[in-house]
Amino acid sequence: MSEAKIEIKNLYKVFGDHPSKVIELVQDGISKTDLLEKHGHILGLKDISLKIPNREIQVIMGLSGSGKSTLIRHINRLIEPTAGEIWIDNEDVTAMSQAALRDLRRFKTSMVFQKFALLPHRTVIENVAYGLSMQGVPEAEAHKRAMHWIERVELNGFENNYPGQLSGGMQQRVGLARALATDAEILLMDEAFSALDPLIRTGMQNILLGLQEELHKTIVFITHDLDEALRLGDNIAILRDGEMVQDGSPQDIVMRPADDYVSEFIKDINRGRVIKVGSLADPAASASDGAPIIVADTALETALSTLVAAPGQSCRITKKDGSDLGTLTLERAVAALHAPAG
C-alpha cells in the first residue's frame, strides 16, 4: 500500500442540538435507535478509522443513510466532527484555522457533486475557470487552463454554452473539468455519476480511469453501486449505519467478505470480471511442462480459456516484471467463481 495521503482516526459525528452531551453514550455503545428515541440525536458516523493511500482511488460505499456522504464532507471540513481527527499530509484538518482551511479547499482539495453544482449564469469555460479565479489566477491564464481541461473531458466546442444547454453527462464533465483545473492533489467525488444514465455513467468512469492513469490523484469516490466500486476502486470501504464493516482491495471484498452484510452485497456480481488471477496463484504448486504464463492482473474470466487449453489445465502466474507468483489450476479457478457461503 502507498503512503497514506489522508488518515481518518476514530471519527464520530452526532447530529442534534447537544452532540457533546451524548458522545460518551455513543462511545459506550448506545444503539442508533436508542440515541434517537431516548436522546433526540442522530448517529451519523461511529468510530471510523481509515487510511487513504496516496495517488490511488479510495471508494467509500454503502446504502442510503450509511454515512458515506457525511464522511467525505469531513475530509475538507464541510461538516465538523463531534470527535476524532482527519489528517492530510500529516496535518490535522480539525485543528486548522479558518485561513488554513480556506487554503485547503482552494488549493489541495476539489469536489465533484452528484447534482453537478454548476453556476447556471456562467458559461462552461467560466464554470471551469471558477476555482482558478478563487485561487487568484489572472483571467487570461485561468481561461487558458480551463480550456485545456475542457478539451481533456471532450467538451471543446461547448465552452461558450451555458449549463442549461447541456445534457446531464456533459454537465458532469464540466464538473470534473472544474475540479481538475485547480490542480488539487485530492479529488472528492460524492456520488458523482449516480444521476447519469447507465451508458453515460460508463463513459464517465472511462474518462476518470483514463485521467487517473496519467494524473495519479488521490481520489475519494462515494457510491452506492458495487459494480462501480469494484471497477474504480484500488481500495473499498463499506459503511453500514454509520460504521465501517470492511475495508480492503476489491479482491479482499469479493473473496473474503467480512460478514453476512457484505456477502449479501456481493452475491450477484460477476466474480470472473473482478477476481484477478494473481490472488489465486498457489506458490507451493507446480505446473505441467510447457504451461502457459498469465500475468497476475488478468481477470479470471479472461484466463479461463487459456486454463482449459493448457497442458494439465494449469498455468504459471507472474507479475508484470516476470517474477513468479505460483500456479493456478482450472479447478482452483472454477472454485473461485462460487461466492463464499454466508
**For residue range 166-222, what is the model confidence (pLDDT) as tens digits?**
999 999 999 999 999 999 999 999 999 998 999 999 999 999 999 999 999 999 999
Q: What mean pLDDT do residues 263-282 have? A: 92
- Per-residue pLDDT band for 341 (boundaries 50, 70, 90) equals low
234 φ/ψ angles, rounded to the nearest 5 degrees: -75, -30
CA distance 171 to 120: 11
Rounded to two decimals, the pTM is 0.92
Q: What mean pLDDT do residues 274-283 have? A: 94
Cell (9 digits) for 309:
487449453
- Give per-residue pLDDT as tens, 100-156: 999 999 999 999 988 888 999 999 999 999 999 999 999 999 999 999 999 999 999
- How many other CB atoms are there within 10 angstroms of residue 172's CB atom? 26
| pLDDT over 70 percentage in the chain | 99
Q: What is the amino acid identity at position 197?
A: D
Q: What pLDDT score was predicted for residue 160?
A: 97
Cell (9 digits) for 240:
453500514
Cβ(329)–Cβ(308) below 8 Å: no
CA distance 155 to 298: 33
Lowest mean pLDDT of 142-151, 188-197, 240-249, 332-341, name the range.
332-341
Q: 3: closest CA among 48, 52, 41?
A: 52
Q: What pLDDT score was predicted for residue 286?
A: 84
Helix (H) or strand (E) holding 132: helix 124-134
Cell (9 digits) for 333:
479457478
CA distance 83 to 238: 21
- Per-residue pLDDT band for 45 (boundaries 50, 70, 90) equals very high
Task: Compute CA 188 distance to the chain's CA centroid, rounded to the nearest angstrom.
Answer: 9
* CA separation, residue 246 to residues 235, 258, 336 (Å): 11, 6, 20
Q: Which domains does the chain have, with CATH numbers?
A: 52-269 (3.40.50.300), 272-336 (3.10.580.10)
Helix (H) or strand (E) holding 253: helix 250-255
Q: What mean pLDDT do residues 14-31 have? A: 96
Calculate the dihedral angle through the C-alpha atoms of 177, 214, 4, 261, rounding to the nearest 10 degrees.
80
Average pLDDT, the chain: 94
Task: Kindly tell me if the per-residue pLDDT of 15 is higher than 70.
Answer: yes
Q: What pLDDT score was predicted for residue 338?
A: 86
Q: What pLDDT score was predicted for residue 1?
A: 44
Cβ(314)–Cβ(328) below 8 Å: yes
Residue with the larger pLDDT of the pair 287 and 96: 96
Task: Kindly tell me if the per-residue pLDDT of 2 is higher than 70.
Answer: no
Task: Kindly tell me if the per-residue pLDDT of 10 is higher than 80.
Answer: yes
